[in-house]
Structure 1
Amino acid sequence: MHFVEAKGLLSSKNGMNIYRGCTHGCIYCDSRSLCYNMTHAFEDIEVKSNAPQLLEKALRSKRKKCMIGTGSMCDPYLPIEGELNLTRKCLELIEQYQFGAAVLTKSDLVLRDTELLASINQQAKAVVQMTMTTFDDSLCSIIEPAVCNTRRRFEVLMEMKRNNIPTVAWLTPFLPYINDTEENLRGLLGYCAEAGVKGIICFGIGLTLRDGNREYFYSALDRHFQGLSDRYRREYGLSYEIVSPNHDRLMGIFHEFCGKYGIMRNRECFEYLSELPEKYRQLTLF
């Protein structure tokens, strides 16, 4: 890892990425794409060492309370967070200034901050989002080799449920001919139902490939799924959107499930994640 003094932290939509790069090793990761102009090795994590100071300055200057999001590009709970505690320090500031928080992760390290997230949720709003792609944990260890398995992520969701912290699941991506099966989808949806998630984000049954992440993905296919990269090249060429042949059928199952259990999906989830209850915004008037 290496440290930088960043000039800013919050995006125009109040998102923050404290780290840049990742060590989870997910074979499909879009953040490897060349279009993001990363100037260092992906596993050499860039750390915004002044992130808490930048966040405090931004929160002090805001006239209205809002949700602060993290994890859209890089996981806020990388292993180095256990040492550096920058995500935690930022959450402490969010709590102090009575803003809301929405965190997106694959890591069970988020459990360390359960009490803090519960406190934020009591006074404003906190949402924990968990990405789950692969119900079979032996397959998960190939697709996402350096982060906790899906069963453990389900346990995280259950712990959030016990602490009355709302959750949203991201079921993405589904890799054609690997985890794009009805068995896999129903297994993940079963976890969602048991954990009582408020919403599920599923962009479709497939993935996206761009220059940079495509090469890494195909190299991983060659190591673990012999001949599959050739099939991808034949069927998809250099397409950005890689759509599973099972897309329509599995998305039908997804939408039927969400309707049955009253679970928000996709655009509803994004609206929910960005919305801070009116009663908390009104506190800034007094």
Structure 2
Amino acid sequence: MHFVDAKGILTTSGGHCGMNIYRGCTHGCIYCDSRSKCYQFTHAFEDIEVKQNAPELLEMALRSKRKKCMIGTGAMSDPYMHCEEELQLTRKCLEIILENGFGLAIQTKSDRILRDIDLLDEINRNAKCIVQITLTTYDDELCKILEPNVCNTKRRIEVLEKMQERGIPTIVWLTPILPYINDTEENITAILNECARVGVKGVIDFGMGLTLRDGDREYYYAALDKHFPGMKERYINAYGNAYELPSPNSQALTRVFKNICKSNGIMSTPKECFEYMNELPERYQQMSLFD
């Protein structure tokens, strides 16, 4: 872990603002796209870069904005990595978002987010808060291999349930689905049935597969050699050096996905999920527990 003074904290696109308080990650997920060379890391991925002045930058940025909007975080670097327990920069930024009346769309794989459920609740009552959780693998033992340094899927489902109890809307990222590993109807069905049970608002799927770039690919293939002997060769034979690696079962899995979402009133396209997450109504009514 090392500390830097960042020049800025918010990026703006289409009226939506995003921020990353940290760079790098300690969760160890074998498929992580953020390891890719295109993101130009100049330090080891696990050597977390901490933007120590993030709260001050956020305060200045929000005070200068003429119109309230949703603030997103977690797309590139999880805001609840191990270092957040000590540093509490994410919590400080949430306090600033609350104080300034902005909305929040926060994404994580970690149950550390429950530490801040009081703030998330207040933001949701005051403006709008959406908690996004990534779920890929229902089987606990497989989850430990794919996402080794973070809580398992069943614990993340408990997080979703606790958010629902507070009336905080949730979105699930059902991605990536790894060919020949977790791309089974049993896995997808188990995850989605739990999403329906705990009242998830929407599920984001980008096509039941995996993407690999330079940097990410090498790390992923090394993990395959370690945990799934012979699997790397199977990937190379099937996909070569492709960026998009769709599951051979993608059509069947997509049908299962669409059917379960439709029968449970869950948003199932990225477009409608992102529109919902980016929208900050002038008078946001907290989601009813009975919706």
Is this a same-fold pair by TM over 0.5? yes
Task: Answer yes or no: is 1:248 the counterpart of 2:251.
Answer: yes
1:204 and 1:197 map into 2 onto residues whose CA distance is 19
1:168 and 1:160 map into 2 onto residues whose CA distance is 11
Q: How does 1:149-168 map to 2 (within 5 A)?
A: 149-168=152-171
Q: Structure 1: which 4+ aligned runs deviate by more than 6 Å?
A: none
Counterpart AA for 1:12? T
2:4 and 2:106 map into 1 onto residues whose CA distance is 22
Shift of 1:259: 1.1
Partner of 2:10: 10
Identity in percent:
65
Partner of 1:272: 276
Cα pair 2:212 2:242 within 8 Å, conserved: yes
Task: Answer yes or no: is 1:198 the counterpart of 2:217.
Answer: no
Partner of 2:242: 239
Shift of 1:154: 0.4
Q: TM-score, normalised by structure 2?
A: 0.95
Shift of 1:204: 1.2
**Match for residue 102 of structure 1 among 83, 105, 110:** 105
Partner of 1:86: 89
Q: How does 1:208-227 map to 2 (within 5 A)?
A: 208-227=211-230
2:264 and 2:232 map into 1 onto residues whose CA distance is 37
Shift of 1:258: 1.3
Counterpart AA for 1:115? D
Query: RMSD over aligned Cα, in angstroms?
Result: 0.7
1:139 and 1:174 map into 2 onto residues whose CA distance is 13
Partner of 1:283: none
Counterpart AA for 2:196? A
Partner of 1:20: 23
Partner of 1:33: 36
1:121 and 1:232 map into 2 onto residues whose CA distance is 43
Partner of 1:56: 59
Indicate the SS of the match to 2:283: helix
Unaligned runs of 5+ in 2: 285-291
Q: TM-score, normalised by structure 1?
A: 0.97
Shift of 1:220: 0.2
Shift of 1:279: 2.4
1:279 and 1:61 map into 2 onto residues whose CA distance is 21
Shift of 1:218: 0.3
2:267 and 2:193 map into 1 onto residues whose CA distance is 15
Indicate the SS of the match to 2:12: coil
Task: Answer yes or no: is 1:71 the counterpart of 2:74.
Answer: yes
